[in-house]
Structure formats: structure tokens, C-alpha cells
Structure 1
Amino acid sequence: MNVVAFARAKQGTGASRRLRNSGRTPGIIYGAAAEPQLIEVDHNTLWYALKKEAFHASVLELDLDGAKSQVLLRDVQYHPYKQLVLHIDFQRVDANTALTMKVPVHFSGAEESPAVKLEKLLVTPVVTEIEVRCMPKDLPEFISVDLSKLEKGATIRLKDIALPKGVKLASQQTNPALVSVVAPAAEEPAEGEAPAAA
């Protein structure tokens, strides 16, 4: 995904306010042993890009006044109640340095699994993203987890999933269950009421 940015000369609260009033969002690029660079980006373009999952978990190509570099989205500040991005941070990516990033988890196949089809159980995702470590070229947009063979009583844990080539779990992570498999809640009669006759 591409981001078009422009160098920003002025900083401070007043300058940032004027920038936002003109339809631009102030930001910064830092990292990769280079000086931090103040930038501005078109607010509306940025707002719609931020709605895309891949924008948050992919290496982005940033075009700064014609000079291209690879970056990661590192922080976004939103207005408390307006549809407004107040500030955005990007980190430069070094193609030769491994990075640690949180990546979304996509679940599929639950409806076809024995747990749902045969046992009528409910399968609910517990983990929505995991932290991985890899080289920038190997960073996946998401991790896919197939639930089609999930059975009653089975547990799929973080360390059970197959990761794409070149990707490994970030160190020091626990090994949580990725999904919850439970029976649907039965409606119980209110206290004092007799169960309805069959």
C-alpha cells in the first residue's frame, strides 16, 4: 500500500491546528538510523486507508516529495469524538533488519467443523492478533487459521498454528487458546416457574 506525504516545515500546536483546518494531518517518520522527518498527509485519504486492516499490518511504501521509502504504521492519534486523525507516526523499515509486529488473525472453516456441524457448539475467537518476528519482505498481512477439523473438547493454541515461511512467534509470548468452544446457553425458566410442557 502506498502513502503520499509532504515535508512539513512548521511544528507546534498552532501550526498543527492550521494544518488540520486545511485538510492535512501532521505526522513524523523516524528510525533506520536517519533523522526524524516531520511530514503531512492528506487527511481524507489517510482516514479511509486506516479503515483497511492491511494498512495497520503491512510494510507501506511512503512517497515523500518523490523519495520513496518503506515504513510501518506505528501510532495513530484520533480526536476523542470527531472523525479526525490528529497525528500519525511511521517507522522506517530496514530491509536487512528483522522486525516485530502485531498481525491480525483470520479464522475460517468453523461452520464446517465437527464441533459446529455435529455438536452444535459455538466457536468464538479469543485472540484477534498475534505478535510475530520476521524480515520485512516476509511480513504477512494476516495469519490464517483453519478451524474445519475442530472437534468437541479440542483446543487450538497459539503455538499449534502453522506460520508462513520466514515468520516466527515473537519471543516471551504465552500460549493462549485461540478460540473458545462452548455449548449454546440454554434458556432456563425463571425462578418459581415450572418448565413448559413438551
Structure 2
Amino acid sequence: MKKILSLGFIFLTILFTGCSSDNDDNAVDNENSVSAVINGADWKPTKINSVTLIKVPGMNQRFDINIQDDSKMLMLACENATTAEDAMPLKEYNFYEEIDEEDKKLQVSDALFINSYLIDGNTYTEHIPVSGKITITAMDPNKKTVSGTFSFKAVKGGVLQTKIVTPEVFEVKNGVFTNLSYTVYKQ
């Protein structure tokens, strides 16, 4: 139950902080970059909607990245115990949807991945994550920049629109983010 509540909070946080502005300040450029391979095709977002570290007293801190191009939006999130610095620990964060066969217990997730489709001004999320990892390799709390890698796999949970046909499996490999500027929100 704690896992579901925690992931639910991450999802709500992503939705809350995922709103984008209409200016070009969030455009991807040579200073900050993101790339990945989605279902075998190279992908680069055209816009960074938000990169945030959220610190709430008494709760784990959350780190979110929300990026998009004209047709897709990816939301990556991870959580960890709150630290004194305005940064996440440099480590791998994982999303598990399965029981560990060796230990016979449910894996505890500390990451969440959501992919959505942007169609006619609406956002549709038809896939459910089954596995994934985000690794933070560098995070500078003074400059507020972060770098790392990510990958995840999601399966179709249903059809919410009929304008495009979405794949049964949505797989992201070789995801890399470099020198993304982040904002810290404290409550």
C-alpha cells in the first residue's frame, strides 16, 4: 500500500509540475540535451517542460523531468530520503512491477516513468510502466544542473483515442540527459 501511495504522489507531482510555459526558455539546446531511442528510432525532445526537485518536510524528496516533442511527452521521476543539499544522491533508481523470484517479495520502486501522446492539444496516456531505471550521474546543487541516463518499458493498458495507433509495447533505451537546469521547490 505504501508503494502505491508513494507512486501516486509522484504521479500527482509530475502532473502538477509538468505544466509548460509558452516561451522558448525551455527549448533544448547545445548546453542542455536529452536523447533516447524509442521503439528503435532515435528521439530528441524539442522542449524541456520542467526539471524539478521537490522537498516536502516529512516525506521523501522527488526529482522529476518532463520533456516533449510535437507528438510525445516523457515524464521521468525518482524519489529518495531528503538530503541537506538541494540534490539527489548519485545512484540508480528503479521501477519494478514484478515480484523478485529469489526473495519472493515485491520489489520496492523508487522511480516512475510515464509516456503520453500529444494529439490535437490533448494528452493521452495509454501505456503502463512495467520496468525502468533512471541513473543520476552528476548533480551540482550550486549550479542546479543534473546529468544522467534512463530507460524504461511500458505496455499498452487500453486505447483512449482513435487518431493514431499506438504500439503494444513502448520501450525507451539509451536515454541520456546532460546539464539540465533544475528548480528546487521547498514546502
Whichever structure has more helix as a proportion of its residues is: 1
Of structures 1 and 2, the one scoring higher in RCO (CA 8 A, sep 6+) is 2
What is the TM-score of this pair, normalised by structure 2?
0.26
Q: Which has the higher strand share?
A: 2
